[in-house]
DNA sequence: CGATTTCGTTTTTTT
DNA sequence: AACGAAATCG
């Protein structure tokens, strides 16, 4: 143990060997908090704390797994495996399997994912004959989610006139009734959604003091990582469990709180010292990850936030190269710039692909990056987005497995009762739902009693329903003896799913088949992995739970040498040698949806801070002057976040000519640009005005005003436009792709002159003149 | 009842 | 641009 402790600096050592009492560690980015957490857990065990009585809550399963491995290296495998470690969701799902019966849930309850929940809400809204444009499932879902995360149960909702009024004012007076119906239906289906895993845990601990006492006694030492991103529900669980022994250690960085949109409450970390007595406070402020330039740039940005704890992150690392800022014309160019830079840097510095990450605000941005990387044959992997387990074909297979385990699972049943086609149509399903609701039973129960129950379904269809029941029951019998893998394979082959997937020979169809194959391999791996662990059952239920709570990051093979592409949210906690933060444009990052209030904007800024601080050696910030959004080419201004960085840490590297290393590779987004025609008379450096704008200014002004400020900045650029003045309103022009059109409007000047042109076929387009090659024909 | 086509919506981030 | 839901037809 001594040998490990000697690896820590003084600031890290103190909290590591502080055993008892409440404590908070404010850990700046890259300050070694994971190391402190792991060593602290090892130290607790070293000091005689029983490994069974330590609960460590992490933000991702991957973080938990890695931490466990590191602890195992110190204290040994057999001890480390007794630790309770995982995300809030997975740990409390595990506990609810055991204790859920107190609340009336079966131990094999299903975990509904977002898709399931929204589908159920969709049917409820339909059944209640509500206007689906007014009650959008997504909005209703997020509203209910925020109720749950704030611990507002259905009962609490109806006891709260303010809430009801707020929903009524928003022209959704039926919210409460939808909420009630949704909760009832989930309960009847033996299902919990993500938020229920926390809400029901709270219910359990509140309503059953003996259960609370049991877990208080069990978890004598509690550690919570990423505490700044806990929501109210999680906060209460932690407080309840830690109440008896008060051995609670939370770690976090208020500057990295980026999940307010799903209920995270930054006040949990800001107020921790008020919540417990005699809190010991530790700060980790030395950054070991990044160069001076990166740390300096990140600090200068986060300084613009008002809401924050006092903390000075510094580093003794080398100065390193400055943060590079690069401007492109389009998102396609941006991708090509990133890809070629990765290519060159890799060559020059002998780096691996995995030394690079491309981070973006929205998943949709991955496409341009992907295209560019593929053309350069740079291996990459996209994390997040539609996760593997949410793909249609995978959900189809999983729905069978879910239904076998829990036949009450309404969403699984509805998904597969007629897939592959069995001649059971929507009308039949609707009648089954009506019958089930009317009798207070599940659809499965109605199906089982189809002969006796009063339902308007003809005999032919009834036969089909009986066949379906027989099929599922035969699987249930098999599940008694077979492994999860044997069962899954049998289901895929015998249900007709395989035939269905085989049917179309399109490339997508082949991919689907491969995905199913991969799922089966995954089940196999799982079963084999579980069999190695003596105490695990290796059964279907556990597999499904893993799947329901898995994130894309968790499925990381880890051994691939690939460039990582992901959203900044997903990148939290990770680090890379070289990081590209792309799409730094107003309305994209910061997102247009997040500029209405100061707190939203500050969260965007923290997100940017997280992005920058992922980089060890070199950070690149890129933006494009126009990009395709919603299928249309849209002009954009550079993100205010670039301006907020102190000049001394950044360097503009937009080259005099757009980089088009290999014109053959750059099928341009316009499809009409001849690369050698693009010329600037001189290097066009974006000039960022450095005048320390107060954040208030951004909040007070409307987005429109902000745009003006930025536009002025852009117009400082010398007029280098070759086309300026050559075109007038009313001209008839010809465009290689869009064909003939008439110039409606010309706006802007200099390099940014744009023309609005009405094409005969393609309709009205706005084009950057410097870029679009137009022939004036009249 | 099922297949095909059209229409409309979507892009903020995720356990 | 891309996907899903609804409308339409067989």
Does the CB of A689 sit below 7 A from strand C? no
Catalytic-residue membership of A256: yes
What number of other Cβ atoms are within 10 A of residue A674's Cβ?
Answer: 10
Which nt sits closest to A631, CA to C1'?
Answer: C1
- State whether residue A329 is helix, strand or coil: strand
Whole-model pTM: value is 0.81
Per-residue pLDDT reduced to its tens digit, A95-139: 999 999 999 999 999 999 988 999 899 888 888 888 877 888 888
- Residue A720 reports pLDDT greater than 70: no
> Which element (helix H / strand E) includes A765?
strand A763-768
A723: region left, alpha or beta (phi > 0 left; psi from -120 to 50 alpha): alpha
What is the pLDDT at residue A751?
43
- State whether residue A359 is helix, strand or coil: strand
Per-residue pLDDT reduced to its tens digit, A222-266: 999 999 999 999 999 999 999 999 999 999 999 999 998 888 998
Per-residue pLDDT reduced to its tens digit, A34-82: 999 999 999 999 999 999 999 999 988 888 988 999 999 999 988 898 9
Does the CB of A419 sit below 7 A from strand C? no
A298 is in an annotated binding site: no
Cα dihedral A254→A256→A259→A264 (10° resolution): -20
Residue listed under structure tokens 């609370």: A212
Catalytic-residue membership of A622: no
Residue listed under structure tokens 């869009």: A738
Beta-bridge partners for A360:
A567
Q: What average pLDDT score do residues A686-713 get?
A: 28
**Which residues in 332-371 of chain A line strand B, with CB less than 7 A from it?**
361-364
Distance CA(A54)–CA(A676), nearest Å, equals 65
- State whether residue A313 is helix, strand or coil: coil
Note the CA–C1' distance, A724 to C2, in angstroms. Answer: 37
Distance CA(A758)–CA(A778), nearest Å, equals 14
Residue listed under structure tokens 């107060």: A694
The tokens describing A638, both together, are 């550079």
Note the CA–C1' distance, A497 to C10, in angstroms. Answer: 26
Per-residue pLDDT reduced to its tens digit, A728-762: 777 777 655 556 777 776 665 444 455 666 766 55
CB A26 within 8 A of CB A252: yes
Of the ranges A50-64, A630-644, A652-666, which one carries the lowest mean pLDDT score? Answer: A652-666
Distance CA(A542)–CA(A527), nearest Å, equals 10
Going edge to edge, which strands form the sheet with A221-224? A84-87, A54-58, A221-224, A248-252, A23-27, A280-284
DSSP A129-185: T--TTTS-HHHHHHHHHHHHHTT--HHHHHT-HHHHHHHHHTT-TTHHHHHHHHHHH
- Name the protein residue, with chain letter, whose CA is nearest the C1' of B13: A569
Per-residue pLDDT reduced to its tens digit, A468-517: 999 999 999 999 888 899 999 999 989 888 887 777 666 777 778 888 88
Note the CA–C1' distance, A132 to B8, in angstroms. Answer: 13
Q: What average pLDDT score do residues A133-158 get?
A: 91
Distance CA(A340)–CA(A661), nearest Å, equals 8
What is the pLDDT at residue A204?
97
- Residue A588 reports pLDDT greater than 50: yes
Cα three-residue angle A329-A333-A337, rounded to 5 degrees: 120
Note the CA–C1' distance, A734 to C8, in angstroms. Answer: 40
- Name the protein residue, with chain letter, whose CA is nearest the C1' of C1: A631
Which nucleotides of strand B lie under 7 Å from a protein CB? 1-3, 9-15
> Which element (helix H / strand E) includes A528?
helix A507-532
Catalytic-residue membership of A682: no
- Name the protein residue, with chain letter, whose CA is nearest the C1' of B12: A362
Note the CA–C1' distance, A185 to B2, in angstroms. Answer: 29
Residues A116, A195, A226, A585: which is the catalytic one? A226
Of the ranges A172-181, A353-362, A553-562, A587-596, which one carries the lowest mean pLDDT score? Answer: A553-562
Cα dihedral A120→A122→A128→A129 (10° resolution): -160
Which of A576, A566, A621 is closest to A298 using CA atoms?
A: A621
Which nt sits closest to A386, CA to C1'?
Answer: B14
Note the CA–C1' distance, A135 to B5, in angstroms. Answer: 27
Residue listed under structure tokens 């908090």: A33
A27 is in an annotated binding site: yes
Note the CA–C1' distance, A101 to B6, in angstroms. Answer: 48
Note the CA–C1' distance, A631 to C2, in angstroms. Answer: 9
What is the pLDDT at residue A406?
94
Distance CA(A105)–CA(A724), nearest Å, equals 71
Catalytic-residue membership of A361: no
R_g of chain A computed on alpha carbons: 29
Residues A34, A139, A153, A307: which is the catalytic one? A34
Distance CA(A580)–CA(A358), nearest Å, equals 5
By percentage, how much of chain A surpasses pLDDT 70? Answer: 83
Catalytic-residue membership of A604: no
Going edge to edge, which strands form the sheet with A774-776? A763-768, A754-759, A739-747, A732-735, A774-776
Angle between helices A88-99 and A194-207 (to 10 degrees): 50
Which nt sits closest to A365, CA to C1'?
Answer: B11
Does the CB of A246 sit below 7 A from strand B? no
- Name the protein residue, with chain letter, whose CA is nearest the C1' of B8: A133
- Strand runs labelled E in A568-631: 576-581, 615-629
Residue listed under structure tokens 């709180």: A257
User: Is there a cis peptide before residue A585, judged by omega within 30 degrees of 0?
Assistant: no
Instruction: Using CB atoms within 10 Å of the CB of residue A778, give its burial: 0 to 12 exposed, 13 to 18 middle, 19+ buried.
Output: exposed
Residue listed under structure tokens 């949410």: A390
Distance CA(A112)–CA(A42), nearest Å, equals 36
Residues A99, A167, A195, A225: which is the catalytic one? A225
Distance CA(A401)–CA(A389), nearest Å, equals 13
What is the pLDDT at residue A258?
93
Which nt sits closest to A122, CA to C1'?
Answer: C5
Catalytic-residue membership of A740: no
Provide the CB-side half-sphere exposure for A156 (13 A, CA).
Answer: 10
Cα three-residue angle A384-A385-A386, rounded to 5 degrees: 110
What is the pLDDT at residue A525?
86
What is the pLDDT at residue A429?
86
Which nucleotides of strand C lie under 7 Å from a protein CB? 1-2, 4-6
What are the counts of helices (DSSP H) followed by strands (DSSP E) for chain A?
33, 23
**Which residues in 709-728 of chain A line strand B, with CB less than 7 A from it?**
none
Which of A144, A105, A122 is closest to A415 using CA atoms?
A: A122
Q: What average pLDDT score do residues A405-425 get?
A: 88
Distance CA(A767)–CA(A773), nearest Å, equals 10
Which DSSP letter does residue A639 get?
P
Does the CB of A426 sit below 7 A from strand B? yes
CB A469 within 8 A of CB A403: no
A242 is in an annotated binding site: no
A32 is in an annotated binding site: yes
**Which residues in 132-151 of chain A line strand C, with CB less than 7 A from it?**
132
Residues A256, A442, A567, A622: which is the catalytic one? A256
The tokens describing A33, both together, are 């908090």
Note the CA–C1' distance, A385 to C3, in angstroms. Answer: 14
A29 is in an annotated binding site: yes
- Residue A616 reports pLDDT greater than 80: yes
CB A347 within 8 A of CB A570: no
């Amino acid at each position: 143990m001594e040998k490990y402790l000697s690896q820590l600096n003084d600031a890290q050592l103190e909290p590591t060997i502080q055993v008892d009492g409440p404590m908070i560690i404010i850990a700046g980015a890259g300050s070694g908090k994971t190391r402190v957490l792991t060593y602290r857990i090892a130290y607790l065990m070293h000091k005689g704390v029983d490994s069974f009585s330590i609960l460590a809550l992490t933000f991702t399963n991957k973080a938990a797994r890695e931490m466990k491995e590191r602890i195992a290296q110190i204290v040994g495998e057999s001890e480390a495996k007794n630790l309770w470690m995982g995300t809030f969701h997975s740990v409390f799902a595990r506990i609810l399997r055991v204790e859920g019966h107190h609340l009336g849930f079966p131990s094999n309850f299903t975990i509904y994912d977002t898709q399931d929940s929204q589908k159920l809400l969709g049917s409820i809204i339909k059944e209640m004959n509500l206007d689906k444009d007014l009650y959008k499932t997504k909005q209703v879902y997020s509203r209910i989610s925020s109720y749950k995360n704030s611990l507002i149960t259905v009962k609490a909702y109806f006891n709260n006139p303010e809430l009801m009024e707020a929903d009524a004012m928003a022209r959704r007076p039926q919210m409460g009734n939808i909420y009630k119906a949704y909760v009832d239906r989930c309960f009847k289906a033996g299902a919990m959604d993500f938020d229920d895993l926390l809400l029901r845990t709270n219910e359990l601990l509140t309503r059953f003091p003996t259960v609370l006492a049991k877990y208080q006694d069990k978890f004598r030492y509690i550690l919570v990582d990423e505490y700044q991103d806990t929501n109210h529900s999680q906060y209460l669980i932690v407080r309840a469990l830690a109440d008896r022994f008060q051995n609670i250690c939370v770690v976090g960085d208020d500057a990295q709180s980026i999940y307010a949109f799903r209920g995270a409450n930054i006040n949990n970390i800001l107020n921790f010292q008020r919540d417990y007595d005699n809190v010991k406070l530790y700060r980790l402020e030395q950054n070991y990850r990044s160069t001076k330039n990166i740390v300096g740039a990140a600090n200068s940005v986060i300084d613009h936030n008002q809401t924050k704890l006092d903390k000075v992150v510094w580093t003794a690392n080398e100065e390193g190269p400055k943060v590079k800022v690069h401007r492109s014309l389009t998102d396609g160019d941006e991708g090509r710039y990133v890809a070629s830079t990765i290519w060159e840097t890799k060559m020059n510095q002998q780096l691996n692909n995995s030394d690079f990450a491309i981070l973006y605000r929205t998943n949709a941005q991955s496409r341009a990056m992907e295209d560019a990387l593929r053309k350069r044959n740079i291996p990459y992997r996209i994390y997040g987005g539609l996760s593997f387990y949410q793909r249609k074909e995978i959900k189809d297979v999983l729905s069978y497995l879910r239904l076998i385990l829990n036949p009450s699972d309404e969403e699984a049943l509805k998904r597969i009762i007629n897939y592959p086609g069995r001649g059971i149509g929507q009308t039949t399903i609707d009648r089954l739902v009506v019958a089930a609701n009317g009798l207070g039973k599940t659809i499965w129960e109605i199906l089982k009693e189809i002969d006796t129950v009063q339902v308007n379904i003809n005999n032919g269809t009834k036969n089909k329903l009986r066949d379906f029941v027989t099929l599922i029951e035969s699987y249930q019998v098999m599940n008694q003896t077979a492994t999860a893998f044997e069962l899954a394979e049998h289901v895929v082959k015998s249900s007709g799913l395989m035939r269905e997937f085989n049917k179309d020979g399109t490339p997508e169809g082949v991919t689907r088949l491969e995905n199913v194959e991969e799922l089966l391999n995954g089940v196999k791996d799982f079963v084999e992995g579980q069999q190695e662990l003596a105490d695990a059952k290796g059964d279907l239920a556990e597999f499904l739970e893993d799947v329901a709570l898995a994130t894309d990051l968790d499925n990381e093979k880890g051994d691939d040498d690939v460039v990582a592409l992901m959203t900044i949210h997903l990148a939290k906690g990770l680090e890379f040698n070289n990081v590209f933060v792309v799409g730094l444009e107003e309305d994209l990052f910061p997102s247009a949806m997040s500029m209405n209030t100061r707190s939203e904007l500050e969260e965007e800024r923290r997100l940017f801070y997280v992005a920058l601080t992922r980089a060890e050696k070199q950070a690149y910030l890129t933006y494009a002057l126009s990009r395709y959004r919603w299928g249309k080419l849209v002009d954009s201004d550079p993100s205010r976040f670039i301006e907020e960085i102190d000049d001394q840490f950044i360097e503009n590297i937009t080259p005099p000519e757009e980089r088009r290393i290999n014109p053959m590779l750059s099928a341009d987004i316009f499809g009409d640009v001849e690369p050698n025609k693009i010329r600037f008379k001189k290097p066009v450096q974006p000039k960022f005005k450095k005048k320390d704008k107060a954040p208030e200014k951004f909040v007070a002004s409307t987005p429109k005003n902000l745009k003006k400020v930025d536009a002025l900045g852009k117009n400082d650029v010398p007029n280098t436009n070759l086309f300026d003045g050559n075109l007038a309103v009313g001209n008839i022009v010809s465009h290689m792709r869009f064909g003939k059109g008439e110039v409606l409007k010309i706006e802007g000047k200099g390099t940014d002159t744009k023309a609005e042109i009405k094409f005969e076929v393609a309709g009205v387009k706005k084009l950057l003149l410097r870029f679009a090659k137009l022939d004036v024909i009249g």
